[in-house]
Structure 1
Amino acid sequence: MLLRKLIKLKNIVINLNQFRCYCEKFVKYERIIAHETEIVNNELVPEIKLHLITPNCKLYYSKIDESIPFKNDPFFLIFWIGGIALTRFVLDNPGIVKSKTILDFGSGCGSLSIAAKMCGAKIAVANDIDEVSIIAAQMNARLNNVIIDTEIRNLIDHPDSFSYDIVFFGDVFYDEEFASTLLPWIENLLEKKKRVFIGDPGRHGFKVCRNLNLTQLQQYLLPENVKNENNGFEFGYVWEVQR
């Protein structure tokens, strides 16, 4: 009996230490994100404020191989075209997400989850395997006075992913190899009668989607600064994948 109590106490101490380490890491990266970014509104999505890298930030001019204050490249501090398009689409069509549970796969800055909660989603989960991305998404949610959930596990074809009503894929078709890993999952989601939306400017990796039954729902002309920062892409597109 005493041994069991000691083991239980030890596990509690370990869990508390893990929680403390997580909190310290959370605070550390919150400070770094706040220091390295600017709070801005995108021209196409003025309703939402985000911590982003802008021309006023040192990181904007840093090269890939230069030392940065993150373990991985901070893609979550950029508002990518597919995310812009999906976020605008949700804000313009709140009925799609109202009272629904949604998964924002590869969530980055978390804009889509934030928009979904602003539009009345029951649950909005920002899912990214980069833990600092999750911290950034939570910071952005607080900026906009909403509460989102977060998930750091890889949910590609994971059983838990089928519990959501809608899954959004923004900017995840950046190369054909990774994009190809998503197709079986998308097909399984459709078989389980989930709604699937994709946001993308038409990158090379998006070609793997040509065998999907895609319906283009919206096309957004991008602001000049977004065009210039994204290799000249002019439009952001939103598609729904049909069965």
Structure 2
Amino acid sequence: MIDDPEGFVTRNTSRRSAPLVPEILLHLADAVMPLWEMTEADLERQGIPPPYWAFAWPGGQAVARLILDRPELVKGKQVLDLGAGGGIAAIAAMKAGAAQATANDIDALALAAIALNAAANKVAVDVLDRDLLDDPARGWDVILAGDLCYEKPMAGRVMGWLRAAASRGTTVLLGDPGRAYAPADGLYKLGDFAVPVSRDLEDRDIRHTAVWQVLPG
């Protein structure tokens, strides 16, 4: 375990905005491969996952952009950012007037990045550091999920959980840039965005990314 997660995040990132959401400052990796290789080589032995928190993935950017453009989706509501990474969607929710935003991740470095990013944007974001997918989603009016359908087992768990939450009346928003395991039905499109991305992370320069409302299942 890293003794000083916030120090690690600060040393390995710089503070700047994501392309689609210039209103929000994030601690982002300056170069993709050095941090990724460090995580795989040295940190993997400590049980630390890849540094998803260090990059502004297109699904999260698209969800954040939609919320900032349509604040009525979250204004005055209790919001959960599931698998939050650096917390861009939770931060956008607070900037758009949410009553409370909780950013959930199981990576200690992600939680440190969320705290730093929230402070950089002068908003309060709660953090929740456990796997939520084995329990019913309760207590949130809106659930946000960005770019969580990149692996088949995870996509299956996430979508089952999100559809169950939608069936209980929660508004569920999913940002997805066409990942292989995203669902093909049971969704209502709320927006489309062209998100500039790094060739080190993606196979193209622009990811056309949709934000969907997940329908009850």
Same topology, TM > 0.5: yes
Q: Does 1:236 align with 2:209?
A: yes
**In structure 1, which of residues 95, 109, 123 is the aligned counterpart of residue 72 of structure 2?**
95
After superposition, the Cα gap between the structure-2 partners of 1:64 and 1:153, relative to the gap in structure 1 and judged at 3 Å, is: closer
Q: Within the alignment, does 1:39 sit opposite 2:3 as a pair?
A: no
Count of residues in Structure 1 that have an aligned counterpart in Structure 2: 213
Structure number with larger C-alpha Rg: 1
Q: What's the secondary structure of 1:182's corresponding residue?
A: helix
Residue pairs, 1:1-243, within 5 angstroms = 25=3, 28-55=4-31, 59=34, 62=37, 65-67=40-42, 71-159=48-136, 161-206=137-182, 209-211=183-185, 213-223=186-196, 225-226=197-198, 229-232=201-204, 234-243=207-216
Compute the TM-score of the two structures, normalised by the length of structure 1: 0.80
Higher helix share: 1
Gaps in structure 1 of 5+ consecutive residues: 1-21
- For structure 2, list consecutive stretches of 5 or more residues without a partner in the other structure: none
Q: Which has the higher contact order (CA 8 A, sep 6+)?
A: 2
CA distance in 1, matches of 2:184, 2:127: 31
Q: Give the Cα–Cα distance (whole angstroms) in 2 for the partners of residues 121 and 59 of structure 1.
A: 36
Over 2 Å off, 4+ runs: 57-72, 225-229
Q: What is the CA deviation profile of residues 126-164 of structure 1, one whole-angstrom value per residue up to 9, with x for unaligned ones?
A: 0001122111101100000001001011111524x2210
Q: Which amino acid aligns with 2:165?
A: L
Tell me: CA distance 1:214–1:36, structure 2 relative to 1, closer, same or farther (3 Å): same
Over the residues paired in the alignment, what is the CA RMSD in angstroms?
Answer: 2.3
> What whole-Å deviation, never above 9, does each CA across 1:163-199 have from its counterpart, x for those lacking one?
1001111111111221111233223212211111100
Q: Deviations over 1:42-75 (max 9, x none)?
A: 22110000000123x8835747643359733211
SS of residue paired to 2:42: coil
Q: What's the % identity of the aligned pairs? A: 31
Which residue identity lines up with residue 210 of structure 1 in the other structure? A
In the superposition, the TM-score normalised over structure 2's length comes to 0.89
The answer on whether the counterparts of 1:36 and 1:58 sit within 8 Å (CA) in structure 2 is no
